[in-house]
Amino acid sequence: MIRRRLVVANWKMYKTVAQSVAYAREVCRRLEQEPVPPAVEMVVAPTYPALAPVAARLQAVGVAAAAQNLDPGREGALTGAVSAYLLWEAGARYVIVGHSERRQMFQETDLMVAEKVGAALSARLTPILCVGESHVERERGETESVIGRQLAAVFGDLPAPAPELVVAYEPIWAIGTGVVAEPGETNRVAALIRSLAEKAWPGAGQSVRVLYGGSVNPRNVRDIFGQGDIDGTLIGSASLRVDDFLAMARAGAETGD
């Protein structure tokens, strides 16, 4: 099965609306001059206030917008919450769910993450489900059990047939640290993710797209794309510059199987 490669820029809480729109304009200008081959899909996840203007601009060049979070509710007296339906209307087609910063700093549990994935799918947003172990868990040899637990919470809750889902393996010790997981290690976890998806929905092991995230940059991205079970990257700080984001997307088209 040919899986389309995916390069996702996660801006976190960076960039004003004006800076976000300027970035989107620059991406449009550069892609109109020199498109990224269709083998690679590009996605940008701005802050909530920048989502609609960025999505509207990037749509013209086939770059999708993602939200960085959602509330599982549909509507109601939920001050400060933003539902999947509102995100869709604002132009998002993807949503990042269960990022380790949300699990750690906003106390999101596996159960909450599962609810969010379900809510995203019912609004036709494709969830980018983040999983990954901490440094301590890795040292204790618990990587596989942590990933298994995080995925079981979500997979157990979803209906057949296999939903369109992206899973991002983001070891917490590699996020924002400059330390990248060894490609072989990353590929082993990606294979585990595929086998768990396959158990949940026969056939899904080959169709689910698996990303790696954690200190990806233009210098190491080719090694990551060189791993057969990895279909793309979720990129934080190195995605804040247009040059670097485009270079990493182009690398996705040039490397691999």
Cα–Cα dist 152/216, whole Å: 27
Burial 172-185 (b: 16+ CB within 10 A, else e): bbbbeeeebbebee
Give the shortest CB-237-to-ligand PGA separation in angstroms.
4
Binding mask 127-156 for ligand PGA (x = CB under 6 A): ------------------------------
Among 175, 196, 246, 251, binds ligand PGA (CB under 6 A): 175
Q: How many CB atoms lie within 10 A of CB 48?
A: 16
- C-alpha pair distances (Å), 30 with each of 9, 24, 60, 216, 223: 16, 10, 12, 22, 25
214 is an interface residue for ligand PGA by CB under 6 A: yes
171 is an interface residue for ligand PGA by CB under 6 A: no
Candidates 64, 67, 57; CA nearest to 28 is: 57
9 is an interface residue for ligand PGA by CB under 6 A: no
Give the shortest CB-252-to-ligand PGA separation in angstroms.
15
Q: Which is nearer to ligand PGA, 57 or 99 (CB)?
A: 99
Q: Is 170 a catalytic residue?
A: yes
Q: Which is nearer to ligand PGA, 146 or 175 (CB)?
A: 175
Contacts of 244 (CB under 8 A, 6+ apart): 217, 218, 238
45 is an interface residue for ligand PGA by CB under 6 A: no
Candidates 30, 65, 74; CA nearest to 47 is: 65
Among 192, 200, 216, 251, binds ligand PGA (CB under 6 A): 216
Cα–Cα dist 107/105, whole Å: 6
Give the shortest CB-79-to-ligand PGA separation in angstroms.
27
Give the shortest CB-220-to-ligand PGA separation in angstroms.
10
Catalytic residue, candidates 99, 101, 108, 115: 99
Among 126, 186, 187, 215, binds ligand PGA (CB under 6 A): 215
Cα–Cα dist 44/59, whole Å: 11
User: Can you list the alpha helix ranges (DSSP code H) found in the chain?
Assistant: 17-33, 48-58, 84-90, 100-105, 110-122, 135-139, 143-155, 183-200, 204-207, 221-225, 242-254
Give the shortest CB-62-to-ligand PGA separation in angstroms.
22
Q: Which is nearer to ligand PGA, 200 or 224 (CB)?
A: 224
- Number of residues counted as binding ligand PGA (CB under 6 A): 13
Strands 64-67 and 232-235: unpaired
Q: Which residues bind ligand PGA (CB under 6 A)?
A: 10, 170, 175-176, 213-216, 234-238
Catalytically active residues are 99, 170
